[in-house]
Every structure is written in structure tokens, then in C-alpha cells.
């Protein structure tokens, strides 16, 4: 089993249970960080000391409080860690259940397993850790296997996300076109953007832009 494991999780109510689960799996060194920045520091320190971590278990969303942090989400944390220690195994333990988000975790960040927090998640987490240790990859908690089969969201690309983000900030079509031009994103004609928004409205069955953003917010796309 893994020897040295780092848990990045802000809620004490959850990290305590995760630590217990790791003990039951006979992990000898279990460390814990409540902030992404702290987690990153621990990883770097361990590399420097030539005693790197074998496994990272990370949440995705961290509460913001008075503290100023450089890394503010599990996504950012994992991306940063992969740069300094590309071979570290990673298990994400989060409430997020949008296929779009999870897919990008595997594809863009190269995580090894994803376990959704839920009614029976601790046994699943244990199983996932065991699986990653046995060099299985792309492990997904039971209830999510069907979610990823759902193709509905895969077709939404980063372009659409950028578009929805700007819309939700209150920009009008022309302003979005200008923003895209400045960012080098194409297509950036206001007419094309209009067309793309229309596609999204049809896709999500939205009556108008307001409705569209409400749906996008519900799906966690923006």
C-alpha cells in the first residue's frame, strides 16, 4: 500500500473520516492540509527532502475566508503539483458530479481516480485508492459511471464556456466580440457569436439569454 499520502480537504468533518479510512488501509504517513497553498508547500517540501508523497487525495472546492491564497481550487492545486511532481498519483474526492468537469480532470489534469462524495463514498474511496495502487487508472465511483456515458455535455467546448462566462458578466454581444478579438479567440464576429449563443439556447432548450445563463449556472458550467 501507499506509504505517504497527503489529503487536501478544507472541511474537518470530512478530513477526519478520510484519515481514518487511510489508517484502515495501513497507510503509515498521513498528512493533511486545509488550504491548497499549504498542500502545495508540503508537496514541494517533501520533494526537497527526497521523501516525496506517493498519493494525493484532493477536494475540488475550497471555502474562501480571510486568508489570501495563490491556489484556490483543487484544479489549480493538482495542475501546480503535476508540474513539480508529474508522477504523483491523484485521487479526487469531491461533490462535483458534472460529466463535463470530471472528464476534464482525467483528460487535462491526468488524475487517476474520481470518487463522488455521497451516501456510500468512504468504501468507494478505499476501493479507488486500492485500485490506483494496483496501477489501475481512470477509476470512477459507481454512481458516476453512467454520468460519463451521458454525452450531452461533452460537445460543449471551452469556446462555449468562455462565451457563457462573458455573458454572465453582463457583457453585450459587441463587447464579447471585442473581448474575443483581444484574446485572439475565433470566431469573433458578433454575428458568429450570436449564432453560437443560439445553438446553445437550442441545445439547452432555453427561451432567451437570461434563461440560458440560469441553466448554465445550474449545471456548473460557469
Partner DNA sequence: TACATCCTTACGGGAAACCGTAAAACAGTA
Partner DNA sequence: TACTGTTTTACGGTTTCCCGTAAGGATGTA
Provide the 3-class DSSP secondary structure of residue 220.
coil
- The only residue of 1, 51, 186, 210 in contact with a copy of itself, by rule CB under 8 A: 210
Q: Is 79 in the site for a copy of itself (CB under 8 A)?
A: no
Task: Output phi, psi for 49, to 5 deg.
Answer: -80, 5
Coil, strand or helix at 46: helix
Q: Which element (helix H / strand E) includes 119?
A: none
Q: How far apart are CA 15 and CA 34, in angstroms?
A: 9
Residue 134, interface with a copy of itself (CB under 8 A)? no
Q: Which of 45, 195, 199, 211 binds a copy of itself (CB under 8 A)?
A: 211
The least distance separating a copy of itself from the CB of residue 47, rounded to whole angstroms, comes to 26
Check the CA dihedral 139-145-149-151 and report its sign.
negative
Q: Does 41 bind a copy of itself (CB under 8 A)?
A: no
Instruction: Measure CA 6 to chain center.
Output: 17
Whether residue 193 contacts residue 180, with contact meaning beta carbons closer than 8 Å, is answered with yes
Contact stretch for a copy of itself (CB under 8 A) within 48-56, 100-108, 184-192, 214-222 = 214-222
Partner interacting with residue 20 (select from DNA, a copy of itself, none; CB below 5-8 Å by kind): a copy of itself
Q: Residues interacting with a copy of itself, by CB under 8 A?
A: 10-14, 16-18, 20, 34, 63, 65, 95, 117-122, 125, 143, 167-172, 206-214, 217-218, 222
Amino acid at each position: 500500500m501507499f506509504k505517504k499520502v497527503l489529503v487536501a480537504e478544507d472541511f474537518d468533518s470530512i478530513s477526519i473520516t478520510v484519515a481514518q479510512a487511510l489508517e484502515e488501509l495501513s497507510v503509515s504517513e498521513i498528512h493533511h492540509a486545509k488550504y491548497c497553498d499549504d498542500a502545495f508547500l508540503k508537496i514541494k517540501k517533501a520533494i526537497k527532502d527526497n521523501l516525496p508523497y506517493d498519493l494525493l487525495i484532493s477536494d475540488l472546492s475550497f471555502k474562501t475566508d480571510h486568508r489570501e491564497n495563490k491556489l484556490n481550487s483543487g484544479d489549480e492545486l493538482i495542475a501546480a503539483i503535476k508540474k513539480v511532481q508529474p508522477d504523483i498519483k491523484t485521487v479526487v474526492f469531491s461533490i462535483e458530479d458534472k460529466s463535463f468537469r470530471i472528464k476534464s480532470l482525467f483528460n487535462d489534469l491526468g488524475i487517476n481516480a474520481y470518487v463522488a462524495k455521497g451516501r456510500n463514498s468512504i468504501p468507494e474511496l478505499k476501493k479507488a485508492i486500492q485500485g490506483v495502487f494496483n496501477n489501475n487508472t481512470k477509476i470512477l465511483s459507481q454512481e458516476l459511471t453512467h454520468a460519463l456515458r451521458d454525452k450531452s455535455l461533452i460537445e460543449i467546448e471551452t469556446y462555449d464556456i468562455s462565451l457563457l462566462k462573458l455573458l454572465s458578466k453582463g457583457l453585450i454581444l459587441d463587447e464579447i466580440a471585442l473581448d474575443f478579438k483581444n484574446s485572439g479567440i475565433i470566431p469573433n464576429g458578433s454575428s458568429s457569436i450570436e449564432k453560437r449563443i443560439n445553438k446553445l439556447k437550442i441545445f439547452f432548450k432555453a427561451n432567451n439569454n437570461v434563461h440560458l445563463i440560469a441553466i448554465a449556472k445550474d449545471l456548473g458550467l460557469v
